[in-house]
Amino acid sequence: MEKEINISEHSILVYEPDGGKRYPILYMHSSEESTSDDIWNLSNKNFILVCIQSTDWNKDMSPWPALKVFKGGEDFSGRADDYLAMLVSDIVPEVEKEISYELAGRGLIGYSLSGLFALYALYKTDIFNMIGSMSGSLWYEGWLNFMQTNLPKVQTPKIYISLGDKEKATRNERLATIENCTQQAEEVLRSQGSDVIFEMNAGNHFANVTERITKGIKWLIQ
């Protein structure tokens, strides 16, 4: 079952299973509606999926200002705190008023920059006990230092991290650090008490995105 909710400038799709009484709920930020449809169809549908369409990816998903990565792109404005406040105080309560099931945990997942945001939220709020960061932008300037100097707000969160084995094969010096940064992030999370797994997938950043996200979901809710 699928329903649409509009909160502020955000279009939100909610996918619910048919029948049952108690399910985990996973919030996902995506720039494409088709991605959420495909993920839901590939999954076992034994959870609630909330797909939020971000209107300004570089602003909402970036934790602090940083220079652009690509020549034709734009700088990151670093307004994740503002968006996270809205997510926690407005979006999550409004969505969950519409949910007819008892919730068995709440997660936040994302791909690329929204994967970075999912991990950032872990250090800023205690409402998510499951985090999925698939091909997360953990190369982001200052990210590892942030992790090392802060602690998750949730005790023993369940965290899934994945990456493509060809993602580091790029001439872009910042993006080329992604595998090393992700490995270090896993070590930090483990040292901070997280139940974390790091999986490598075949391909570059754009290969099998839907399948990678679905793999993360299955591990988080198993």
Contacts 24+ apart (CB under 8 A), 29-33: 29/53, 29/54, 29/60, 29/61, 29/110, 29/114, 29/117, 30/54, 30/111, 30/114, 31/57
Summarised one tens digit per residue, pLDDT across range 177-214 is 999 999 999 999 999 999 999 999 999 999 999 999 99
- Give dist(CA 28, CA 44) in Å, integer: 17
**Contacts with 149 (C-beta within 8 Å, 6 or more apart), sequence order:** none
Cβ(163)–Cβ(182) under 8 Å?
yes
Q: 92-117 pLDDT, tens per residue?
A: 999 999 998 999 999 999 999 999 99
What domains can be seen in the chain, in order of their start residue? 2-221 (3.40.50.1820)
Q: Which residue has the tokens 């169809």?
A: 41
**pLDDT at 34 (0 to 100):** 57
Give 18-34 pLDDT, tens digit per residue. Answer: 888 899 999 999 866 55
pLDDT attached to residue 10? 87
- Mean of per-residue pLDDT scores for the chain: 94
Instruction: Measure the CA–CA gap between 136 and 182, rounded to whole angstroms.
Output: 8
Res. 40: pLDDT tops 70: yes
The whole model's pTM is what?
0.96
The position carrying tokens 């949730």 is 154
Give residue 121's pLDDT band: very low, low, confident or very high (50, 70, 90): very high
Token pair for 209: 């995105």
pLDDT for the residue 28: 97
The answer, yes or no, to whether residue 54 has pLDDT greater than 80, is no
The strand pair at 102-111 and 2-7 is best described as unpaired
- Give yes or no for a contact between 108 and 129, defined as CB atoms under 8 angstroms apart: no
**39 pLDDT exceeds 60?**
yes
